Amino acid sequence: MVRIQDLNCISPYEWEIPRSFRADMRVPVRIFSTREMLEQCVEDRSLEQAVNSATLPGLVGRVTIMPDMHQGYGFPIGGVAASAYPHGVISPGAIGYDINCGVRLLASTIEANAALPNLDELAVRLNQLCPSGVGSKGMFDLSQPELEHVLVEGSQWTLKKGYANETDLRRTEENGVMAGADPSKVSERAKKRGKSQLGSLGAGNHFIEVDVVDEIFDQKSAAVMGIYHGMLVVQIHCGSRGLGHQICTDYVQDFQLAILRYGIKLPDRELVCAPLDSQEGSNYMAAMHAAANFAFANRQMLAHATRQVFQEVFSGEFKNWHLNQVYDIAHNMGKTEMHEVDGQITKVCVHRKGATRAFGPGNPGIPAEYQEIGQPVLVPGSMGTASWVLAGTQTSMERSFGSCCHGAGRVMSRSQAKKNFHGNRLRSELEKHGIHVQAGSMPGLAEEAPQAYKDVDMVVETVTKVEIARKVARLVPVVVIKG
């Protein structure tokens, strides 16, 4: 077990577990956190998982842990680790089962105060048009060839079909399509699970949320993003559904043997991996990119359905009811990127599990309109609390492989949350605060009680203090659709 006294305190917001802490660590672990948030994590296994992650072969720099960290499986949630090409490894468990789980933000110029009478109808229609819940079916039952187009083309497929516009794609990480996706590396079972799930939210902590822009911290950046005080915006949080879960399951199973072939010793079998230049590593990369493309297309389809609902509810009431895309980002991904390591520009695979890419100004990987301000970093809070729009910084490139936090981070188990909170009562409380809630299940709602999470404002304060992101706007919810 890792104790707080085992950590070196670098500043009130930064801690380090040195490489000397355990003989099998290949790099140190750097944690961005306050002492209070760190103490919340000591009881679970997140610090031990961070140390285990630092044993992956070929890692460079350091494993970085975001303030929203919590216990995961193998790799902690909120973790970032980069392995160098060609001999470093790729680990499916360090990316997660919900490949390219991510967040999309759409902004409107509908004044929230004027829209108050419409919010209940908005919640009901969003819940009807955006399928949610366990095993929920999406908007299509795709044929095998059509599904394979989605896996290769991602958001491009939705553009071709008329469900997206050019701005949507430009304002999506990787323009909504990961190159090198290969459906032949995706199992038939994964395809079977995915073919009926495109355009569905799923369950768990996934959601669609309508928010009001509560406070602007950087007028210029907010204006560039199209975010204005008092206006309605929409967040969509979901991933690659059963298709992505199956791909990760398949490759974690396959890699159980791969590590024996490559003589890799690991402290946890969930961290199994394969060299980036191996056939096994290439196969997983191609399948993982296919799942990422499915997830980009999935969020695009949900954005399309959300726009239909906005048109239906607001087009007769407001002059400009349109929803414009601010950005779409992944927070469970493995990305091939160039980063400076020990003074050398190095090709690495950055594993982000519960961590968001946060490229700073001038990075060629972000859209032209964000070149001056850095990419939007979307940090949803727990249900009923604030969410944040941040912007990536140059410092994030230097300190965290261009990465930032992805949410509030759990502190309470789901079973404890169900004991402590009641779904119906929670919904009534949220509604008293003017938040309209539609949920797949009341126990599921109780599990997502805001008290089960860290204070997102403190998470955001921490990442801004260590300068890996800066504040642009704060959002507060008015409609929550829970999976």
| Residues with catalytic function | 406
Question: Could you say which residues in the range 169-228 bind other proteins, by CB under 8 A?
Answer: 189, 192-193, 202-204
Single out the segment in contact with other proteins by CB under 8 A; choices: 83-91, 264-272, 276-284, 316-324: 264-272
Q: Nearest approach, Cβ of 382 to other proteins (angstroms)?
A: 12
Q: Nearest approach, Cβ of 193 to other proteins (angstroms)?
A: 7
Binding of residue 42 to other proteins (CB under 8 A): no
Single out the segment in contact with other proteins by CB under 8 A; choices: 79-87, 249-257, 338-346, 388-396: 249-257
* Segments in 28-185 forming alpha helices (H): 35-42, 46-53, 112-115, 119-129, 144-153, 155-160, 166-170
Question: Could you say which residues in the range 397-426 bind other proteins, by CB under 8 A?
Answer: 410-416
Structure tokens at 450: 């805001």
Q: How far from chain centre, in Å, is Cα 343?
A: 29
Single out the segment in contact with other proteins by CB under 8 A; choices: 160-168, 253-261, 298-306, 355-363: 253-261
* Nearest CB to other proteins, comparing residues 115 and 383: 383
Binding of residue 272 to other proteins (CB under 8 A): yes
Q: By rule CB under 8 A, what count of residues binds other proteins? A: 45
Binding of residue 73 to other proteins (CB under 8 A): yes
- Whole-angstrom distance, CA of residue 477 vs CA of residue 371: 29
- The answer to whether 50 and 33 have CB atoms below 8 angstroms apart is no
- The answer to whether 46 and 15 have CB atoms below 8 angstroms apart is no
- Whole-angstrom distance, CA of residue 393 vs CA of residue 391: 7
* Nearest CB to other proteins, comparing residues 335 and 410: 410
Q: Nearest approach, Cβ of 130 to other proteins (angstroms)?
A: 16
In terms of residues, how long is the chain?
A: 483
Sign (positive or negative) of CA dihedral 455, 458, 462, 463: positive
* Nearest CB to other proteins, comparing residues 214 and 254: 254
- The answer to whether 21 and 56 have CB atoms below 8 angstroms apart is no
* Segments in 370-474 forming alpha helices (H): 394-399, 414-420, 423-432, 442-447, 456-465
Q: Is 156 helix (H, G, I), strand (E, B) or coil?
A: helix
* Nearest CB to other proteins, comparing residues 8 and 256: 256
Report how far apart, in Å, the C-alpha atoms of 236 and of each of 201, 267, 326, 377, 482 are. Answer: 9, 36, 12, 14, 10
Residue with tokens 């859209």: 367
Q: Nearest approach, Cβ of 288 to other proteins (angstroms)?
A: 14
Those residues whose C-beta lies under 8 Å from the C-beta of residue 452, and which sit 6 or more positions away, are 382, 410, 411, 412, 414, 416, 417, 421
Binding of residue 443 to other proteins (CB under 8 A): yes
Binding of residue 428 to other proteins (CB under 8 A): no
Q: Nearest approach, Cβ of 387 to other proteins (angstroms)?
A: 19
Q: Which residues are at the interface with other proteins (CB under 8 A)?
A: 44, 46, 70-74, 77, 93, 96-98, 133-135, 189, 192-193, 202-204, 242, 245, 248-249, 252-253, 256-257, 260, 268-270, 272, 410-416, 440-441, 443-444
